[in-house]
Amino acid sequence: MNSLNVNSDLNEQQLLAVESTSNHTLVLAGAGSGKTKVLTHRIAWCIETGQVRPDYILAVTFTNKAAKEMQHRIQSLIETPINRMWVGTFHGIAHRLLRMHHELANLSPQFQIIDTDDQLRIIKRILKELDFTDKEYDPKEIQSRINFWKEEGVRPIKVQLEGCSSDEISLQIFKEYEAICIKSSLVDFSELLLRVYELFSDNISLLETYRSRFQHILVDEFQDTNKLQYRWLNLLASQKNNFFVVGDDDQSIYSWRGARVENMQKFRKHYPDYNLIRLEQNYRSSSNILSAANALISNNPSRIGKNLWTNKEDGKPLMLYSAYNELDEARYVVDTIESEIQSDHEHKLADCAILYRVSAQSRVLEDALRLKGIEYRVYGGFRFYDRAEIKDVLGYLRLVFSKNDDAAFERIVNFPPRGLGDKALGAIREGARFYNVSLFQAAETLLKNEELPTRTQKALNDFFIVIDDIKNHEVTDNDSLSELIEIISLKSGLIEHFKKEKGGRGLDRIENINELTIAAKDFDGVEENGILESFLTQASLESGETQASEGADCVQLMTLHSAKGLEFKFVFILGLEEGLFPHKRSIGSMDQLQEERRLCYVGITRAQEYLCLTHAESRRLHGSEYLTSLSRFVKELPESTIEHVRIGGSFIDFSNEGKQSPEGDYHLGQSVKHDIFGSGIVLALEGRGESLRIQVNFEDSGIKWLVASYAGLKKI
């Protein structure tokens, strides 16, 4: 392909972006607008028209996969070899620069890159050397703090403490950690960027060399850059270089990973002569879906602003299903998928994606899919019973059930961390071999005989106290099994441990554990061997075997964060309720609430043809049932784009208090009394005549569904 037809397949705005003559260009690329196409064509056009040689181009992406795809696409457009072009991730390019200039960067030529696991091991070692335990100070929290400081461009000497004792310890560890890394020539991921930034800042002549070298700098997913990445780019680009960035402030959803959406506004201030080009034509979604997305995101006041449009027809309206609870929600979604696939043989299971805000929501979905025999895969994560925190709780359950379960013992004896290191575990394993008993029994014997160091004995004793406390709880039914899981999560220290995890990950783990307690309440597979064994057996059978293999035709389950960059014919977004989506952690912060709205926008714009939104009128959280309220995000969608769905009865708008039932006997908000459950308020009505069902929130007994003809309710 020659320079005359490189850009022949671009729309008007794409062409304006590709052939921009401004030194500084900001391309505001909406979802499904051909962002990658514009980037690759821009590079190809610049090379083919003789504006720049390939080796004078720096193209930055966020993943190695994206970098390889970019290279492949460019090479398919032009005949000029591009093997000398600099294209890669921030970390990959930084590594290349440090290898070339290790002396100026004060690094050994043999410096080694360490990953996050290696970094964590060093931090744990430092804690141990300073006579701190993992229980006193969470190594992962310290790791997160150190990386945060580095991404802010701050060395230990310049850290400003805010009077927090944990920060003082983190700073102390930071100093020791940095000393070890310097001594051993180790470089972590955050250090790569910081070291290059310092390399250029401290060596102006080298900086000018690379400013001259990289005449064209292009950046993909600019909205996801962090503070240090932006400072690095801004330093390298200057006012003279051709600086071309592509991003979408409406799709900035990774602030918890350090991404700064405000970098797009900073670009506009730093380069006042910039050329702003909006890519608004969407090639993915129907008009109805885009109308909903535009209306939703318009409620974010700080955005640059754009409006997606398409040449496609209006398409189907958005389905809004009001479920009774999360079980009904899962059943409806799975039934809908089943009927769509059966009704049209051209549709595949892989065309369907189920999106949710928190990973714990997958549990009931997985159960519903298994019940129907529909293959599925949890994209970018683990199935519910394969998640580490679930396996941790089940490990305690298994050990309570059987002292001979060595695998369970090894998993939980030092988790949460109790100071039982490899040496202590090695002694227990040796004891098990010597006495020919299980690890648990060996530990008991070694403890009784005082054959272990004092510190190890104390840690083991604390562990046995926890196990004994748990064993004192008798499991006779689903409620007692659920209570046992709650006891384990608290007495083991798991909840306290996960609370310390940064970035919301720990809270996600806690939500998964809470979901496990609900699973125990719902459990209906009691066998002759008892409920505990039956539950553990089912959990084992549901772990690892039923997930479809990668590339198989299967339904995709994923969090909304994992869905970015993907597209599907059929998309289901579940749990659109206040406190769940938007998440309760965001409601008190305007910035976080805006990011939640952007996350919803990302979810909506994944859909090509069919979009279904669901909410549950009541949902079980932390083992209890709660009445929910509809997400503000649904209320921000145009009513003209939505079709309300209610299976088994008419749609009921909860905002219309006083609405009459089909029989006129009861109305929403009415006070009633039951002989056993006591007084309550009518929440929902369904059906007619003898089939009339009433949902009541009882003051003492919680939410119940009752058949009116049998309930004997009295109106108050």
For the cut 60, the answer to whether the pLDDT of residue 480 exceeds it is: yes
Looking at the chain, the number of H-run helices and the number of E-run strands are: 26, 22
For the cut 70, the answer to whether the pLDDT of residue 541 exceeds it is: no
Residues 568, 353: contact at Cβ < 8 Å? Answer: yes
Average pLDDT over residues 141-146: 90
With a CB cutoff of 8 Å and minimum separation 6, the contacts of 298 are none
How many residues are recorded in the chain? 716
**571-587 tens-digit pLDDT:** 999 999 999 999 988 88
Residues 226, 151: contact at Cβ < 8 Å? Answer: yes
Write down the pLDDT at residue 687. 61
Residue 105: which of 194, 189, 188, 175 has the closest Cα? Answer: 194
Q: Model confidence at 690, in pLDDT bands (50, 70, 90)?
A: low
State whether the Cα torsion 549-552-555-558 is positive or negative.
Answer: positive
Write down the pLDDT at residue 503. 62
For the cut 50, the answer to whether the pLDDT of residue 653 exceeds it is: no
CA distance 488 to 475: 13
Write down the pLDDT at residue 165. 58
CA distance 349 to 406: 40
Write down the pLDDT at residue 654. 33
Residue 583: which of 359, 423, 431 has the closest Cα? Answer: 359
Residues 43, 1: contact at Cβ < 8 Å? Answer: no
Residue 442: which of 409, 397, 396 has the closest Cα? Answer: 409
Residue 34 in tokens? 């051909």
Q: Which residues are catalytic?
A: 35-36, 220-221, 251, 606
Write down the pLDDT at residue 606. 97
CA distance 580 to 533: 33
State whether the Cα torsion 33-34-35-39 is positive or negative.
Answer: negative
Contacts 24+ apart (CB under 8 A), 481-486: 481/520, 481/521, 481/523, 481/531, 481/532, 481/535, 482/517, 482/518, 482/520, 482/521, 482/623, 484/397, 484/400, 484/520, 484/532, 485/393, 485/397, 485/513, 485/516, 485/517, 485/520, 486/517, 486/623
Residue 150 in tokens? 């580095």
Kindly report the number of other CB atoms within 10 A of residue 141's CB atom.
Answer: 17
**149-195 tens-digit pLDDT:** 998 889 998 887 765 556 788 899 999 999 988 888 888 989 999 99
Distances (CA, A) of 364 to 359, 437, 552: 11, 39, 22
Q: Model confidence at 664, in pLDDT bands (50, 70, 90)?
A: very low
Residue 223: which of 268, 266, 259, 274 has the closest Cα? Answer: 259
Q: Model confidence at 74, in pLDDT bands (50, 70, 90)?
A: very high
Chain Cα centroid distance, residue 619? 21
Write down the pLDDT at residue 246. 96
**421-447 tens-digit pLDDT:** 788 888 888 888 888 888 888 888 888
SS3 89: strand
Question: Among the listed ranges 250-254, 545-549, 627-631, which one has the minimum average pLDDT value?
Answer: 545-549
Mean pLDDT for the chain overall:
86
CA distance 614 to 575: 6
Write down the pLDDT at residue 659. 35
For the cut 50, the answer to whether the pLDDT of residue 123 exceeds it is: yes
Write down the pLDDT at residue 534. 75
Is the model more confident about 69 or about 472? 69
CA distance 277 to 195: 34
Average pLDDT over residues 686-704: 72
Residue 143 in tokens? 């790791």
Maximum CA pair distance of the chain? 88
Q: Model confidence at 341, in pLDDT bands (50, 70, 90)?
A: confident
Percent share of the chain, pLDDT over 70: 91
